[in-house]
């Protein structure tokens, strides 16, 4: 089993360990104070999946990259036809013709792989840009809710095993994001 990205990142491991120790210390040494604290939980994963701004961003990205995706599909189909033609007619072709077609296939395949790699990199960069803007807006919204309603702690961690629906603020953050995006 491969470790997740968080398990391979020493900074994230250290932060997780430190936050776990802080949580343990708070719970052991200040049980009465901690029991009176107002806690909240937000699922960033759900926000990035369900919030209207995230869905609009996904549609913008899909539209932006649709033409390049279609080109890659077209080249892939062309490569398949070339390969089938080479396999089917290899016996009847002259050595010169077979070499020329194999070179054409290799050149097109190399171009396809380069375009595919560039597509993935550009798509990843673009998605990260859009999602980081949404995360920033969500964090501002979370802070506003926390300050307005006097929350002591709001957890935002996709690794939470279980959170009470009573403290889950995700729906409220999504609604506020949607309301603020229609106002803009």
Q: Report pLDDT for 12.
A: 52
* Closest listed residue to residue 57, CA positions, set 126, 109, 111, 3: 126
Instruction: Using pLDDT thresholds of 50, 70 and 90, give the confidence band for residue 18.
Output: very low
Name the range with the highest mean pLDDT among 2-11, 28-37, 112-121, 147-156. Answer: 112-121
DSSP helix/strand/coil, 72: helix
- Least confident range from 35-44, 94-103, 142-151: namely 35-44
CA 108 to centroid of chain Cα atoms: 31
Distances from the Cα of 124 to the Cα of 51, 114, 132, 183, angstroms: 20, 15, 12, 29
In sequence order, the β-bridge partners of residue 41 are 155, 168
Angle at 167 (CA atoms; ends 162, 169), nearest 5 degrees: 105
Please give the Cα distance from 167 to 173 (Å, whole number): 12
**Torsion 165-135-117-10 (CA) sign:** negative
Q: Is the pLDDT of residue 63 over 50?
A: yes
> Structure tokens of 18?
């430190």
């Amino acid at each position: 089993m491969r470790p997740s990205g968080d398990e391979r990142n020493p900074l994230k491991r250290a932060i997780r360990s430190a936050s776990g120790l802080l949580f343990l210390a708070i719970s052991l040494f200040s049980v009465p104070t901690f029991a009176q604290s107002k806690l909240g939980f937000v699922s960033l994963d759900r926000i990035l999946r369900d919030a209207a701004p995230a869905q609009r961003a996904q549609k913008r990205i899909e539209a932006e990259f649709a033409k390049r995706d279609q080109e890659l599909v077209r080249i892939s189909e062309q490569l398949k036809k070339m390969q089938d033609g080479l396999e089917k007619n290899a016996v009847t072709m002259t050595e010169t013709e077979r070499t020329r077609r194999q070179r054409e296939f290799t050149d097109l395949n190399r171009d396809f792989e380069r375009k595919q790699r560039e597509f993935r990199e550009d798509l990843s960069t673009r998605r990260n840009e859009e999602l980081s803007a949404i995360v920033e807006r969500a964090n501002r919204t979370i802070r506003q809710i926390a300050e307005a309603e006097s929350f002591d702690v709001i957890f935002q961690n996709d690794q939470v095993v279980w959170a009470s629906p009573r403290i889950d603020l995700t729906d409220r953050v999504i609604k506020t994001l949607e309301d603020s995006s229609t106002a803009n």
